[in-house]
Amino acid sequence: MRRSFTPVGVLLVLALFSHVPRLIKGSSPCKRANSAAIRPHSVSITEFGAVGDGVTLNTKAFQNAIFYLNSFADKGGAKLFVPAGQWLTGSFDLISHLTLWLDKDAVILGSTNSDDWPVVDPLPSYGRGRELPGKRHRSLIYGRNLTDVVITGDNGTIDGQGSNWWNWFHTKTLNYTRPHLVELMNSSGIVISNLTFINSPFWTIHPVYCSQVIVQNVTIRAPLDSPNTDGIDPDSSDDVCIEDCYISTGDDLIAIKSGWDEYGISYARPCRNIIIRRLVGQTRTSAGIAIGSEMSGGVSEVHAENIQFYNSNTGIRIKTSPGRGGYVRDIYISNITLTDVKIAIRFTGHYGEHPDEHYDPEALPTVERITIEDIAGDNIQYAGILEGIEGDSFLNICLSNITLNITSKSPWNCSYIQGYSDSVSPETCEPLRESISPYHYSDCYNLSSHLLNSSNQNRGTWFLSW
């Protein structure tokens, strides 16, 4: 059969496929982690005098063991084995080419004495502690400038024993920002898998300025009313994979970040190529997946799919503010199931919270090319509260194949946004009611093939039939 090519048809096809190759050819950071890789050298923490009674402080034992294993870093690496027991410790450093392995009944307990969590400088992309001006407490498990680090086991537990920190936060008796449970800085080749993390003093897992990070098959829990106990926060990092996780905490389950106002703009380290899939969880106060609010270095190429959130405040949220600068672009979220969630989709353009008075209120963020599709929700109060910034509208917001059972009489509230929609129930707000047509595919990031095929069938001969 001879094909007919009209000028308009050719231009549409070229526009469509000029957008597709980088999505298809981009390398995925997800791969099945070989967390059981054999290290040629292995020791048990008990060989360094550690006592797993939940009372004896084992900080020195962890430090000495890792210092000893450092001599094997250039000989294939080493494994530190933590057997069954309750191993109380303060903060300790990891090294490159190390596997930290927790046995099934092993529990690493964070000390309840704040003196066992050293005070360190703030992150340069934040300029100060996230909660208080000045410095911050170092995480329980910490590492910087590392490569090839595995934190894994047979579903052992790392318990931050965060209740003291939460009380100090509520009573405003802290001198420095609370510590994370695990923080890795300026590192690459990181695998965190097959473990349970509970009761973090602050954010739970925080890779910052990192590359090639896999967080796989972990459970993260903290009381639903615990303050700011985020689950996993990729921060100014690239090539990050988060998959097969269950998270139930007092703040965002996943929060993607890249620095805070003028400090993040100056540091200029974006967060990009983030894959999130097969995630289940709940948060009564915050969002299942959040971007921001600290996003001044930029966030792009985030793909999330096969997600279930229940008993939560918000499903998907983007948070930013004048003064942030930076950008959030090329975000694709699909195949989401929501149950008993207050707000399915929320964009907040005036989140506020600035590190100091030196931020530039004219540094406006760019939010564009956000595609959300294949969403089902039951007992949802609001479908969307989408609030951009006057004079800085959020652009090319594309919603497709969304069906929500809404309890509110006003399902959508939108301002300063622009975009398109297709098959959204209840009907979306006026700025998004223009149907997604072939002319919009270059605007709608990574729009799925089922909508493409539907457009081909229902909208005539714009697409070439091969």
DSSP for 145-164 reads S-EEEEEEESS-EEE--THH
Is-cis flag, bond preceding 91, omega within 30? no
Q: How confident is the model at residue 20 (pLDDT cuts 50, 70, 90)?
A: very low
Contact partners, residue 57, CB within 8 Å, separation at least 6: 88, 89, 90, 111, 116
Q: What average pLDDT does the segment 430-451 reach?
A: 84
Q: How confident is the model at residue 38 (pLDDT cuts 50, 70, 90)?
A: confident
Mean residue pLDDT across the chain: 91
Please state the pTM of the whole predicted model.
Answer: 0.91
Q: Tens of pLDDT along 278-288?
A: 999 999 999 99
74 is catalytic: no
**If 0-12 CB within 10 Å is exposed, 13-18 middle and 19+ buried, where does residue 465 land?**
exposed
Cα(291)–Cα(297) distance, integer angstroms: 12
Cα(92)–Cα(86) distance, integer angstroms: 16
pLDDT at residue 438 in the model: 85
Q: How far is CA 397 from CA 298, 318, 370, 446, in A?
A: 17, 12, 5, 12
Q: How confident is the model at residue 437 (pLDDT cuts 50, 70, 90)?
A: confident
Please state which of the ranges 41-55, 145-159, 392-406, 450-464 shows the lowest mean pLDDT: 450-464
Whole-number percent of the chain with pLDDT over 70 = 89
Residue from 233, 235, 238, 251 carrying the catalytic annotation: 251
Which domains does the chain possess? 44-456 (2.160.20.10)
pLDDT at residue 453 in the model: 52
pLDDT at residue 351 in the model: 97
pLDDT at residue 32 in the model: 60
Q: Tens of pLDDT along 447-461?
A: 874 455 554 444 433
What pairing do the DSSP bridges indicate for beta strands 119-120 and 136-137? antiparallel
pLDDT at residue 442 in the model: 86
Torsion on CA atoms 405, 407, 408, 414, rounded to nearest 10: -30
Q: What average pLDDT does the segment 343-353 reach?
A: 97
Cα(203)–Cα(186) distance, integer angstroms: 18
Q: Tens of pLDDT along 237-275?
A: 999 999 999 999 999 999 999 999 999 999 999 999 999
Q: What average pLDDT does the segment 177-188 reach?
A: 98
Q: Is the pLDDT of residue 18 over 90?
A: no
Q: What average pLDDT does the segment 327-345 reach?
A: 98
Q: Is the pLDDT of residue 26 over 70?
A: no
Torsion on CA atoms 166, 198, 151, 57, rounded to nearest 10: 70
* Contact call for residues 201 and 180 (beta carbons, < 8 A): yes
pLDDT at residue 441 in the model: 81
The distance from CA 142 to its chain's CA centroid, rounded to whole angstroms, is 19
Q: What average pLDDT does the segment 343-356 reach?
A: 97
pLDDT at residue 5 in the model: 32
Q: How far is CA 399 from CA 140, 381, 420, 466, in A?
A: 41, 18, 7, 28
The distance from CA 62 to its chain's CA centroid, rounded to whole angstroms, is 29
* Of 352, 431, 445, nearest in space to 393 by CA: 431
Q: Tens of pLDDT along 364-417?
A: 999 999 999 999 999 999 999 999 999 999 999 999 999 999 999 999 999 999
Q: Tens of pLDDT along 77-124?
A: 999 999 999 999 999 999 999 999 999 999 999 999 999 999 999 999
* Of 359, 334, 131, 356, nearest in space to 262 by CA: 359
Cα(291)–Cα(280) distance, integer angstroms: 17
Q: What average pLDDT does the segment 40-59 reach?
A: 97
Whole-number percent of the chain with pLDDT over 90 = 86
pLDDT at residue 31 in the model: 77
Q: What average pLDDT does the segment 276-301 reach?
A: 98
Pair of tokens at residue 2: 């001879």
CA distance between the termini of the chain: 10
Between 223 and 453, the more confident residue is 223
